[in-house]
Amino acid sequence: MRYFPTAFAAALALAAAVLAPARTLLHCGTLIDGRADAPRKAVTVIVDGNRIAAVEAGYTAPATGDKVLDLTAATVTPGWIDCHVHLDGQSSPTSYSEGFFLNPGDYALRAAFYANKTLLAGFTTVRNLGDSDNSTLALRKAIAAGWVPGPRVYTAGKALATTGGHADPTNGINFELMGDPGPLQGVINGADEARKAVRLRYKEGVDLIKITATGGVLSLAANGQNPQFTEEEMHAIVATAHEYGLKVAAHAHGTEGMKRAVLAGVDSIEHGTFMNDEVVALMKQHGTYYVPTLSAGRFVLDKAKIPGYFPPVVVPKAVVTGQAMIATFQRAYHSGVKIAFGTDQGVAPHGDNALEFVYMTEAGMKPMDAIRSATLEAAKLIGVEKDLGTVEPGKYADLVAVPGDLLADMKLSAKVSFVMKDGVIYKQ
């Protein structure tokens, strides 16, 4: 029997093409890869399964069975990461009473609804920094199992507070119901209880620890800036968390609470409203990330002007904090503090996360830096830069596209036209 090499090779190639899994080829007019300082033009991103297989110059021709997506008129970036959300709630005039009427299942189902809105807005990964009844642990499981659509979730579960502190869940309610919550409910007093609270969160399966290092705006307490953990308590939390492989995010508005948190070794300062030069220097020295949440500041400042929207104790805190955030952001950015994107959505409406890009660039941040804060820098803060944050071979296929030139008009970030997460298209 005679063989004809050319025909035989062609048959083998055809068989291989038939057997090979189909790939998805994204023909990108402009690609911001999350790492380079300048965008690339006319690029093909090849997705195989849930990973990026290759990034090639020009518009690669498809092989048999390949799917081609025409994004030649769009700007494509890595999937965006919001490092500060609260998916199981959203601020409204009824927020302060709903806890008396909602059950754990209600919070979890509401979280799923807001998670879908967040994903369709281009945010394929989030850090959830505080929830009710571990709703976002259930959400994380449901999304990973494919039961509901949503971003990849890294959650802190219940945030940690001191008695009467910003995350004490009984602030402001009547004395009969107030009780004296402890570490199980995320409320600690003293180093031993601090360590126990961290270990309880670890037992529950959280991805990181959230602490309320100072007072806050929306809690029913008078002071929005005072330090709320002793140095000993703070060190106990951070040391225990790091021993268990958990990073620590610190909500902080006031200067002294921020200083204690940075010196204790927290991984990020959330909000950072009244950050001064000393704190800036400490954050640069310790490599601490800053998550600005300008969206929350803008939202509470606007709503404080509406009579009855917030309880009276909240209004003055909202005004003072909202007014200060932009100047602090500008100081930190120009000083070289590491910045990761975060909105505090759940204060402002879910799905509007991309407005943070607009606020950051209006405040003077370079558009490419703003995008990088929500891609590579955010991935570094979470600790997942090996898999997320850039468009490179081997990374998860998380990709977002907007029509037109994003770098020329950051408002296009609110007009997402394409979302792929883990190789699956959710919006096209």
Q: Count how many domains the chain has.
A: 2
* CB-based contact 247:228 (threshold 8 Å): no
Locus of tokens 């503090």 = 337
With respect to residue 146, please indicate whether it lies within any of the assigned structural domains: yes
Check whether residue 258 and residue 311 sit in a common domain.
yes
Check whether residue 280 and residue 407 sit in a common domain.
no
Check whether residue 242 and residue 197 sit in a common domain.
yes
Q: Name the pLDDT band for 21 (thresholds 50, 70, 90).
A: low
pLDDT tens digits, 240-274 = 999 999 999 999 999 999 999 999 999 999 999 99
- Give the burial string for 203-214 (b: 16+ CB within 10 Å, else e): eeebbbbbbbbb
Q: Which residues contact 269 (CB under 8 A, 6 or more apart)?
A: 250, 252, 258, 261, 262, 275, 279, 283, 288, 289, 290, 291
Q: What is the CATH number of the domain that holds 124?
A: 3.20.20.140
Check whether residue 151 and residue 191 sit in a common domain.
yes
With respect to residue 228, please indicate whether it lies within any of the assigned structural domains: yes
Q: Is the pLDDT of residue 3 over 80?
A: no
DSSP letter string, 10-54: HHHHHHHHHHSPP-EEEEEEEE--SSSSS-EEEEEEEEETTEEEE
258 half-sphere exposure, CB direction, 13 A CA radius: 28
Dihedral sign from CA coordinates of 243, 245, 246, 247: positive
Q: What is the mean pLDDT of residues 67-82?
A: 98
Whole-model pTM over 0.85: yes
Please state which of the ranges 29-43, 96-110, 162-176, 360-374 shows the lowest mean pLDDT: 162-176
Check whether residue 200 and residue 238 sit in a common domain.
yes
Q: Is the pLDDT of residue 293 over 80?
A: yes
- Supply the pLDDT for residue 402: 98
* CB-based contact 48:11 (threshold 8 Å): no
pLDDT tens digits, 154-199 = 999 999 999 998 988 888 888 888 889 899 999 999 999 999 999 9
With respect to residue 5, please indicate whether it lies within any of the assigned structural domains: no
**DSSP 8-state symbol, 349:** P
- Supply the pLDDT for residue 251: 98
With respect to residue 24, please indicate whether it lies within any of the assigned structural domains: yes
The domain in which residue 289 lies consists of 80-382
User: Residue 119: left (phi > 0), alpha (psi -120 to 50), or beta?
Assistant: alpha
- pLDDT over 70, % of the chain: 95
Mean pLDDT of the chain: 94
Q: What gap in Å lies between CA 249 and CA 399, rounded to an integer? A: 26
- Supply the pLDDT for residue 171: 85
Check whether residue 296 and residue 342 sit in a common domain.
yes
With respect to residue 13, please indicate whether it lies within any of the assigned structural domains: no
Listed in order, strand segments (DSSP E) in 79-191 are 80-85, 123-128, 152-155, 161-162, 187-188
Q: What gap in Å lies between CA 338 and CA 176, rounded to an integer? A: 45
Check whether residue 254 and residue 268 sit in a common domain.
yes
Locus of tokens 């050319």 = 6
With respect to residue 99, please indicate whether it lies within any of the assigned structural domains: yes
Check whether residue 57 and residue 181 sit in a common domain.
no
- Supply the pLDDT for residue 61: 96
Q: How many residues does the chain have?
A: 428
pLDDT tens digits, 192-221 = 999 999 999 999 999 999 999 999 999 988
pLDDT tens digits, 111-143 = 999 999 999 999 999 999 999 999 999 999 999
Check whether residue 396 and residue 282 sit in a common domain.
no
DSSP letter string, 162-211: ETTSTT-TTTTS-HHHH----GGGTEE-SHHHHHHHHHHHHHHT-SEEEE
DSSP-assigned beta bridge partners for residue 400 = 77, 419
* CB-based contact 338:359 (threshold 8 Å): no
